[in-house]
């Protein structure tokens, strides 16, 4: 599994809990005694790919610092106040879920479980949805030499977590932010043309000004633009909203002089035809901006 920055996770989770008023949960404070114990289960209600267990656990830990995450059932000591999350044996981020799969048991003081429930579920459902959408796209191109990658079309503040979920689903990541690489898009080209520059001259300007360690990627929408970009020395040509036939023609013309990336309107239904055009990369913003949350519930059994 890819690494998560746990300090970042704790910060994001803390902000989400504060947004939700979890530390002043008036409903739980007025209806559930602090000494009441309980248990709950995380239950998958549809098929998909699990992602975000460490983030969900961090939500409970922020509300109840005595939390324990275990791969085996732990007995609570008499009068014990800790919360124990027991993962189903062998289950981890990246696992394929079926409807009815019990993901984990949570046992301990009921009040903090209830206060953290919504935030924990929001992260688990959201990230599992991203991982599921990624795996669906990855499966569609199985056996073909193409990479599935995300884009910067992420939920503000959650980019690191959503990119993690893309990796869990079998995909890879595009540049993290605007400082990570040069990507000359249509509006950059339009700004250059307004100053009388050609596409080649815009590329030359980027090459002269950017660090030598960064690739120059250029978005194009036609065969002619693709040829101008590769002739000007672009490292990656992004073929935007082209048909598979148009992509295949561009790939043949580029002939390995640059990497080729297909983007725009990518779905599980058309991904294989696009991959068969010979492109090296397929990028999809829908992996993060449109992935439906996976239906997962937390069901309480009060004691």
Domain definitions of the chain by residue range: 6-131+291-302, 138-289
CB 236, CB 218: distance < 8 Å:
yes
Closest CA to 202 of 223, 215, 186: 186
Token readout for 37 is: 């114990």
DSSP secondary-structure letter at 22?
G
Provide Rg for the chain, Cα atoms.
Answer: 24
* Helix or strand (DSSP H, E) at 40: strand 37-44
CATH architecture for the domain at 138-289: Alpha-Beta Barrel (3.20)
List 162, 217, 225, 240, catalytic entry: 240
pTM: 0.93
> Dihedrals φ, ψ of 172, to 5°?
-125, 170
Q: Are strands 37-44 and 48-49 parallel, antiparallel or unpaired?
A: unpaired
Token readout for 122 is: 């929001």
Q: DSSP string of 9-58?
A: HHHHHHHHHHHTTGGG-HHHHHHS-TT-EEEEEEEE-S-EE---HHHHHH
Closest CA to 285 of 148, 120, 89: 148
DSSP secondary-structure letter at 172?
B
DSSP secondary-structure letter at 222?
S
For the domain spanning 6-131+291-302, the CATH number is 3.90.1170.20
List 219, 235, 261, 280, catalytic entry: 219
Annotated catalytic residue 185? yes
List 185, 193, 224, 299, catalytic entry: 185
Sequence-ordered alpha helix ranges (H) in 216-298: 223-231, 244-254, 271-275, 286-289
DSSP secondary-structure letter at 176?
S
Cβ neighbours of 268 (radius 10 Å): 16
Q: How far apart are CA 224 and CA 196, in angstroms?
A: 18
List 10, 82, 153, 207, catalytic entry: 153
- Report the pLDDT value the prediction gives residue 82, as an integer from 0 to 100: 63
C-alpha pair distances (Å), 242 with each of 102, 186, 284: 43, 14, 14
Cβ neighbours of 144 (radius 10 Å): 14
Q: How far apart are CA 93 and CA 244, in angstroms?
A: 34
Q: At what angle do helices 223-231 and 199-209 cross, to 10 degrees?
A: 40
Q: Which residues pair with 44 in a beta bridge?
A: 296
List 118, 147, 175, 207, catalytic entry: 118
pLDDT in tens, the chain (303 residues): 788 999 999 999 999 999 999 999 999 999 999 888 888 889 999 999 999 999 999 999 899 887 776 654 444 444 455 667 777 777 899 999 999 999 988 888 889 999 999 999 999 999 999 999 999 999 999 999 999 999 999 999 999 999 999 999 999 999 999 999 999 999 999 999 999 999 999 999 999 999 999 999 999 999 999 999 999 999 999 999 999 999 999 999 999 999 999 999 999 999 999 999 999 999 999 999 999 999 999 998 766
| Alpha-carbon dihedral 18, 24, 26, 31, rounded to 10 degrees | 110
């Amino acid at each position: 599994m890819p690494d998560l920055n746990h300090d970042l996770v704790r910060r994001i989770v803390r902000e989400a809990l504060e947004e939700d008023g979890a530390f002043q949960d008036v409903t739980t404070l007025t209806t559930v005694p602090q000494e009441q114990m309980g248990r709950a289960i995380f239950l998958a209600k549809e098929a998909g790919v699990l992602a975000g267990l460490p983030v969900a656990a961090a939500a409970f830990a922020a509300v109840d610092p005595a939390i324990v995450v275990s791969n085996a059932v732990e007995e609570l000591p008499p009068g014990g106040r800790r919360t124990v999350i027991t993962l189903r044996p062998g289950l981890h981020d990246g696992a394929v879920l079926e409807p009815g799969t019990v993901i984990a048991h949570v046992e301990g003081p009921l009040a903090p479980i209830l206060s953290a429930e919504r935030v924990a579920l929001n992260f688990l459902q959201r990230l599992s949805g991203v991982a599921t959408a990624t795996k669906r796209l990855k499966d569609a191109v199985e056996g073909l030499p193409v990479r599935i990658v995300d884009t910067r079309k992420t939920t503000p503040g959650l980019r690191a977590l959503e990119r993690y979920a893309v990796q869990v689903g079998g995909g890879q990541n595009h540049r993290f932010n605007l400082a990570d690489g040069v990507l000359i898009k249509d509006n950059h080209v339009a700004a250059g043309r307004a100053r009388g520059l050609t596409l080649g001259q815009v590329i030359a300007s980027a090459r002269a000004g950017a660090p030598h360690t960064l690739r120059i990627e250029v978005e194009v929408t036609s065969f002619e633009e693709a040829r101008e970009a590769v002739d000007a020395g672009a490292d990656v040509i992004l073929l935007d909203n082209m048909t598979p036939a148009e992509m295949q023609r561009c790939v043949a013309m580029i002939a390995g002089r640059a990497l080729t990336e297909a983007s725009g309107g990518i779905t599980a239904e058309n991904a294989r035809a696009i991959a068969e055009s010979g492109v090296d990369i397929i990028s999809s913003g829908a992996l993060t901006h449109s992935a439906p949350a996976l239906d997962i519930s937390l069901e309480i059994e009060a004691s």
